Chains A and B, each alone.
Chain A
Amino acid sequence: MYFKLLKNDFKKNPTSNLILLLFMSLSVTIAVTVTLMLTQLFTSINDMYKTANPPHFLQMHKGEIVQSDIDKFNKSYEGIEYWQTVPMITVNGNELTVSDESKDKFSLSDCRLDISLVKQNDKYDVLLDENKNKLKIKTGEIGIPVILLDEFDIALGDKITLSDGDVTKTFTVASYVYDGQMNSTLCSSTRFLISDEDFNALLGDVGETEYLIEAYFTDSSLADDYQTAYEQSDKNLPKNGQAITYTMIFLLSALTDLIMAMVFILTGVLLIAIAVLCLRYVVLAQLEDDMREIGTMKAIGVSQKGICKLYLGKIRILMAAGCVTGFGFSLLLSTLLTEHISRTFGEQPLDIRCFILAVLVCALVYAVILLFTRKILNRLQKSSVTDLLITEKGFEKTKKVKDGLHKSRHMPLNLLIALKEVRKGYGIIFGLLLIVSFLVIVPIRTVQTMESSQFVTYMGSPICDLMLEVEQGADLEKRNSTAEEILLDEAEQGNIESIETLRRVRLQALKNDGEVVGIHIDSGKSAGSGLKYLYGEKPKAATEIALSYLVSEDLEKTAGDRIILIVNGEEREFTVCGIYQDVTSGGKTAKTVCSFPEESAEKYTYYINMPDSKILQQSVDSLRAQFNSGYSIENMEEFVGQTLGGVSSRVNLAAYAVFFIGTVLTALIVTLFMKLRIARQGGTLAAKRTMGIPFKVICRQELYPVLIAGGLGTFAGAVLAELFGDNMISVLFEMLGVGLKQIEFAGVSFLQYLVIPALLPAVLTAVTYGICRSIKKINIQDYFND
């Protein structure tokens, strides 16, 4: 019977049923795609980690090491399962040249990541091939990190030549490396795999030797305690570099895809909201159309449940069809969206558990939509037979008509009519445009913010043109003196406008319970200037210190609290003057104007402003030419771009997808709305035609309320996006735990904002006019006599 009812209903209202079906399918598609994407992401990473075995704790170190000290410490530490120290040869990008017969040579000097040559490990921290098998490299061959392929055109078979001083060695690119540990542009380093023979031949002769001190535990959660113990132990343990634990390695690996999934979750939730809005409108319209039939059924004693079943049956069938088609679409869509996951973590066939979870999510969407339909159908209970058959009051609440039209003297009639009409029945258009504009604006604004020059302030750096880092390693002080000389010389010649210097030391801070935490502290006259503070302000006095958000969370300190630092073995008290956000160095940094001459420096950073920012790249190139290895010089815009490149390009892709989906949804729902409206308002429209109201004017009278409701919705969506969008994104970032708590959308030009309000009303106008053509076909006689 339900099929018969649905069949007849489909014949009567094909458009509205098709649009409903489409929305149900889309809701299921998005929900299932997100599920598949997330499960695929986590199973891919987990699968990769099974073979790759990334460390639970990693300490990078430049300089000499005493392995026996590490062994001694680890042997006495409970819970440790395995440890190893992996040497790496760190080389400069400009020392590596890629070439093949068909293309020009290019160097990897633009690569922001620190490049290291490594040999394959045995069982732990293994580098993999695309099938997640241990990668084997022969002598003369090299494996290229797969994450570099976004930026550099390197094909298998290309030659890579390493030239450092007297040493020149050419490798053939034999494979792409899938690295469990350093697989994101958010990491600071990347690893090229060479054979044991080549590695041993080059070690000590080229670049600098850096060490990865790695530890594995019976449970990865023990890594945090180990890190504290490692830092507290004694000064002989090597820690001249970044330390990172398993959680952060996992997070950095997943971040790019996680953010994209978050955007899709947001889209999915809002899409389901739109589907419910649409469903409500269609079901209510149908109830209105069937008012007399429902009244008759009630009059002859058909129960409320019985009548509801008729309508629920139709929704159930539509929803079932929506689930099947949506599921099919999501399988196709997830293949496209998980491409990045496959590219980063290797091929991953669809796991049966993913499939089961996706089916459960599909069932959940089905249940949610059915629940809402039941809620809408509850209105049936509130209407009496008299309401339905005699007064024809229907199911909608009648509102008092306020006078206005006949009392207005000057307002154009079409606008007056629109203002009266828009008060009732246009909620769906308002709601739709509110959701769509919010949905479209938030990802676009997020991308704009991430691409703006101000974003660098979330990376613990002030806004400037260039950043020069004197990197960790041997002769740091000597290299820094050279840098200082060159920069001062450039400044004297007028090539540099301003320089700010920070000296980084690593000190230990005491938590409230006496536990010790290691933090990177940048000291200098201008330390903490130009940053945005969550709480408090930059340090001014030598006893003040500003902490990054993650450090403040770790130490449980906020602005105004006291903090103890251990300087040269003695406790020294500082006042926390401010909390800022930093995504670099694992998010754990601090800034103070106090210098710590008794502590050896980890690195030096120079923030440089140029007199002419138009020739920035030229200036970068000219400075680079004056510095050898051991320095990194970055154009700040490129630094942000390269660091966040992967993330912002994924969000950008999601923003475009949302924009496209939003526009299509708008067109579809307005089509549905106008079709139903014309069908239901046929009598009024016919009356207008008999009165001699021109067709164009009737169309305008139909268009204006749509534009007013849509315009107000768009505006409200934009206002909400501006008011709460950045808070929402901040919550997402905070959940990810990368050191960001509060992001403010970057300023945007009025023109940029006009694009969305201009496009959405254009869609509304085109669709409304298109549908209004059917008014011409209305048979007047159908509406005036029973």
Chain B
Amino acid sequence: MSKNKIKIKGLGKSFDGNSVLNDVSFQIETGEFVVIMGQSGCGKSTLLYSVSGMDRPTKGQILFDNRDLSALTDKEMQKLRLEHMGFIFQKPNFIKNLSIADNIVFPAFQLGKKSRKEIVADAEALMRKMGIISVADHDIRKVSGGQLQRAAICRAMINHPDILFGDEPTGALDSSSTKEVMDILEQINFDGTTIMLVTHDAKVAQRADRIIYLEDGKIKDEFRKKSSEISLKEWLAKIGL
């Protein structure tokens, strides 16, 4: 496997002639935890959706394990997402008439690479790890926001993706639930899963290996925890957060 999980070269995206992303280039290495920060409307979510193949960029190239995403058909892109990517969002959006456990096993059943027995065992292990095994058979409307987000992480992880994308996953949570979710994400990353997260919360960002700061659709600055000469606090102050 390539060391570079994702390579982004000269990425541009515009809507109705309005440029949202402009010549964005960076790489994400396998096992890295990258956070994209920026003010509202700077293009960070657009960047995440383009990188994860949910949206097609207007310009530039995205290589995922050296495969050019723009060359993939919709069908190939769907397969890639199902097998190699996981997603978590601010609003988890579950299938209403299914229980928590059913929602979690759903993508793995869909992929069909393992027996259902193995999938259920995986799901139970995940739910235990995330502390939601007690609500496995619950209606999704009968659990807390934090439990729901942890269930969303379980669902995203059920197919053992190479990379987990997150769009403001803690945006609707209180501080204690945010901490719990971030602890889990940190653990997932520690176990080897690459993470790319969009957030505007500095507390969330500080868990990452690298922070990319976007402004007006361009990368304005970047912070690397291991190699930076300044502390995260100083860097945040420097970019005005």
Contacts and interface: CB of A to CB of B under 8 A. Distances in A.
A781 interface: yes
B83 A684 contact: no
B71 interface: no
Given A690-B54, A783-B91, A405 B105 contact: yes
A409 B168 contact: no
Contacts of B51: none
B239 interface: no
Interface in B137-164: 137-142, 155
A407 B110 contact: no
A401 B136 CA distance: 11
B102 A780 contact: no
Interface string A761-783: 00000000000000000001101
Interface string B97-120: 111011011110110100011011
B67 interface: no
Closest 9 CB pairs of A and B: A692-B82, A692-B81, A784-B89, A683-B93, A405-B102, A687-B93, A692-B78, A401-B99, A406-B105
B93 A692 contact: no
18 contacts: A398-B139, A398-B142, A401-B137, A403-B102, A417-B98, A687-B93, A690-B81, A691-B87, A692-B77, A692-B81, A692-B85, A692-B107, A693-B107, A694-B75, A785-B90, A785-B91, A785-B168, A786-B171
Given A408-B116, A691-B82, A780-B49, 19 more contacts: A398-B139, A400-B139, A401-B137, A405-B106, A406-B120, A421-B95, A684-B94, A690-B52, A691-B106, A692-B81, A692-B107, A695-B78, A697-B110, A780-B55, A781-B46, A781-B55, A784-B91, A785-B171, A786-B172
B80 interface: yes
A413 interface: yes
Contacts of A400: 139
Interface of B: 45-46, 49, 52, 54-55, 74-75, 77-83, 85, 87, 89-99, 101-102, 104-107, 109-110, 112, 116-117, 119-120, 123, 136-142, 155, 167-168, 171-172
A692 B91 contact: no
A786 B90 contact: yes
Given A417-B95, A421-B97, A691 B54 contact: no
B99 A423 contact: no
A656 to B, nearest CB: 39
Contacts, number: 130
A420 B102 contact: yes
A450 interface: no
Nearest to B81: A692
A424 interface: yes
A393 B107 CA distance: 26
B35 to A, nearest CB: 16
B117 A409 contact: yes
Contacts of A410: 116
Nearest to A687: B93
Contacts of A407: 120
A757 B97 CA distance: 27
A693 B90 contact: no
A404 interface: yes
Interface of A: 391-393, 398-401, 403-410, 413, 416-417, 420-421, 423-425, 681, 683-684, 686-695, 697, 780-781, 783-786
Contacts of B109: 405, 413, 416
A689 B54 CA distance: 8
A786 B91 contact: yes
Contact of A781 (B45, B81, B106): B45
Most chain-A CB neighbours within 10 Å: which of B45, B46, B85, B116?
B116
Nearest to B74: A695
A401 B141 CA distance: 10
Contacts of A690: 52, 54, 81, 87, 89
Contact of B97 (A409, A413, A420, A686): A420
Contacts of B102: 401, 403-406, 420
B141 A398 contact: yes
A416 B101 CA distance: 14
B142 to A, nearest CB: 7
A401 B94 CA distance: 13
A738 to B, nearest CB: 52
A400 B97 CA distance: 9
Contacts of B99: 401, 403, 405-406
A407 B171 CA distance: 33
Nearest to A421: B97
A785 B137 CA distance: 26
Contact of A684 (B93, B117, B138): B93
A474 to B, nearest CB: 81
Contacts of A421: 95, 97
B99 to A, nearest CB: 4
A387 to B, nearest CB: 11
B76 to A, nearest CB: 10
B81 A691 contact: yes
Contacts of B112: 413
B51 to A, nearest CB: 13
Nearest to A693: B110
